[in-house]
Structure 1
Amino acid sequence: MPELPEVETTRRGIAPHIEGRAIRGVTVREPRLRWPVPVAALDALTGTTVTAVERRAKYLLLRTARGTLMLHLGMSGSLRVVPPDTPAAIHDHVDILFDGDACLRLRDPRRFGSVLWFDADAPDPALLAGLGPEPLDTAFDGDYLYERSRGRRRSVKDFIMDGRIVVGVGNIYAAEALFDAGIHPARAAGRVGRARYRALAQAIKRVLAEAIEKGGTTLRDFTSASGAPGYFRISLAVYGRAGAPCRRCGTTLRTRRLGQRATVYCPRCQT
């Protein structure tokens, strides 16, 4: 599943091509995504201009004066800006056509993504309610994590992957940040001290910022908006490296399941 760096990379890739441009139509070839695409409601997009392309957690928000188009890439989705006469492939489900001969195309082989519309005078979508802070915002820091973690017995890895605590810290980057901070992923969240949470918050910011800078992690179903793959995978310290030597101390990396996910860690560097 594309994680926050991949989604942010997509946002940065498409924004220069569609911000400030008027929409002249929407084509829906397959409305059966995670939730039905509101085909009739999307008529409101015609003639309006995209004023901003934003990201909240893993959602992309196309802002217009009439409302917001909210996109989620699901497990295998991707967005491309292509010429409008580009033939659609079998998994190209939605096209948004812009003045200036640009087409924003959603491809989603597994159809777990979503395309939703919210009128300008509607309340904030329920999907965005209750989300924690963005990990790269100043509101997110180690003191915040420490205060939210008191009394919690769940693992610290599950804790930082909870979108109600902080958004966008998926499996890959949680594992990498915990290694960077030297914290065992199975340690109870309530048993991590303030100083270590400060180190963890900085590690989360560092690995996410580096991933965004390098274009997102190369996953099986993801390439960046330009069509070029991400290159962060070459820098991964623990994720996907079970049984390999730790890059820091040489100890064999171990794996265990936490929250239904495989977690790789160094038994020597992480305590």
Structure 2
Amino acid sequence: MPELPEVEVTRQSFADAIAGARVLGLSLGKPLRWPLGVAPQSLVGRRVGAVQRRGKYLWLPLEPGGLLLHLGMSGSLGFQPEPPPLGPHDHFELRTDQGVLRLTDPRRFGAVLWSPALDLDPAAKLLAGLGLEPFDPRFDGAYLHERLRGRRVAIKPALMAGDVVVGAGNIYACEALFQAGIDPRLPAGRLSRPRSERLAQAVRRVLGDALRLGGSTLRDFKDAHGIAGSFQMQAMVYGRAGEPCRVCATPIRRLVQGQRATYHCPRCQKK
């Protein structure tokens, strides 16, 4: 699933190219997660504003209003001057005088939804439960410790839930917990203040590294120009079950939490 780094890399790969473009047309393929919510013809002639990201959502302003996009489990956005003919998995296409933005989504869990503004429904309702951005100055150990207080759920699913901090998807949560030396099974409410600070720093560091490396391409993720990410190549624990830890040589273990695979080093990560 595209997580925050992949969504931000996607945004950066086409935001400048589409800014200021005039909409020439919009077409839809098979239904996505939600109906578009507006007549496609009504968007013709509108200007595209500065593309923004909130969590794993992209906001494409069309002045007035805009489109809220989500890549779902397997979606990707491409932006090209002259794209190839529509394929069976191309379900949204925005044609502009500066190029064509196309959503390709084999599993159709993605979404393109009209909203009159980012702070009005339906966009506001979808974004209301999101936690802080990981690079927000307010996201620190004190904030993390306070928001996790009293939670019995394990720290890894708590980190992934998105209501405390956005962007710590499966691969990045595993890597951040390894860097912070925290066992993923530790009850979130037992995280001490010092360890909360280490974890907040690790989350920012891991996501920052992922952004610099173009995100992670585990299956088919590519940015809007078709370039794959490479963060997965430097993973310390994710996807390395049975392989020696790069720090202590103890075999990396795999367990399942909330139907997701978790990878950790039983020696470097403590409860």
The reply to whether TM is greater than 0.5 is: yes
CA distance in 2, matches of 1:186, 1:241: 18
Matches of 2:83 and 2:89, distance apart in 1? 16
What are the superposed Cα offsets for residues 6-50 of structure 1, whole Å, 9 maximum, x if unpaired? 0000000010210111111111122x111223352x333211111
Q: Give the equivalent residue in structure 1 for 2:26.
A: 26
Amino acid in the other structure paired with 1:138: P
What's the CA shift for 1:105?
0.8
Q: Which residue of 2 aligns with 1:219?
A: 218
Kindly state the Cα deviation for residue 56 of structure 1 after the two structures are TM-superposed: 0.5
CA distance in 2, matches of 1:211, 1:260: 24
Q: What corresponds to 1:171 in structure 2?
A: 170
The more displaced of 135-144 and 177-186 is 135-144
Q: Distance in 1 between matches of 2:57 and 2:83?
A: 27
CA contact (8 A) 1:2 1:219 kept: no
Instruction: Tell me how far apart the structure 2 counterparts of residues 65 and 92 of structure 1 sit (CA, whole Å).
Output: 25
Is contact 1:28-1:39 (8 Å) kept? no
Match of 2:70 in 1: 72
Deviation, 1:125, is 2.7
Deviations 1:198-255 (A, max 9, x none): 0100000001011011101012121122211111111100010011100010001111
Q: 1: CA distance between counterparts of 2:70 and 2:41?
A: 20
Taking the TM superposition and a 5 Å limit, the aligned residue runs for 1:99-138 are: 99-100=97-98, 102-120=99-117, 122-123=120-121, 124-138=123-137
Gaps of 5+ in 1: none
Q: Separation in 1 of the partners of 2:134 and 2:120?
A: 27
The answer for the alignment partner of 2:202 in structure 1 is: 203
Q: Is the 8 A contact 2:80 2:225 kept in 1?
A: no
Residue equivalent to 2:11: 11
Partner Cα separation in structure 2 for residue 78 and residue 153 of structure 1 = 35
C-alpha contact 1:84 1:97 (8 A) present in aligned 2: no
> Counterpart amino acid of 1:189?
A
* 8 Å Cα contact 2:23/2:95 also seen in 1: yes
Q: Which range moves more in the overlay, 132-141 or 77-86?
A: 77-86
CA distance change for structure 1 residues 199 and 122 in 2, over 3 Å: closer, same or farther? closer
Q: SS of the counterpart of 1:148?
A: helix
Matches within 5 A, 1:218-237: 218-237=217-236
Change (3 A) 1:85 1:170: closer
Displacement of 1:154 after TM fit?
0.9
SS in 2 for 1:15: helix
Instruction: Spell out the pairing of 1:39-78 with structure 2 (5 A cutoff).
Output: 40=39, 42-78=40-76
CA RMSD of aligned residues (A): 1.4
Q: Which residue type is aligned with residue 108 of structure 1?
A: D
CA drift of 1:85 comes to 5.8
Over residues 104-142 of structure 1, what are the superposed CA-to-partner deviations in whole Å (9 max), with x where a residue is unaligned?
Answer: 011111111001000148445311112111111112111
User: 2:116 and 2:153 mapped to 1: Cα distance?
Assistant: 39
In 1, the alpha carbon distance for the partners of 2:202 and 2:51 equals: 27
Asked if the contact 1:83–1:103 (Cα under 8 Å) also holds between the matched residues in 2, the reply is yes
Q: Give the one of 90, 93, 102 matched to 1:92.
A: 90
Distance 2:61 2:185 in 1: 40
- Whether contact under 8 Å (2:175, 2:206) holds in the other structure is yes
Identity %: 55
1:264 Cα offset (Å): 0.8
Counterpart-to-counterpart distance in 2, 1:6 and 1:117: 22
Stretches of structure 2 that go unaligned for 5 or more consecutive residues are none
TM-score of the two chains, using structure 2 as the length reference: 0.95
- Report deviation, 1:64: 2.6
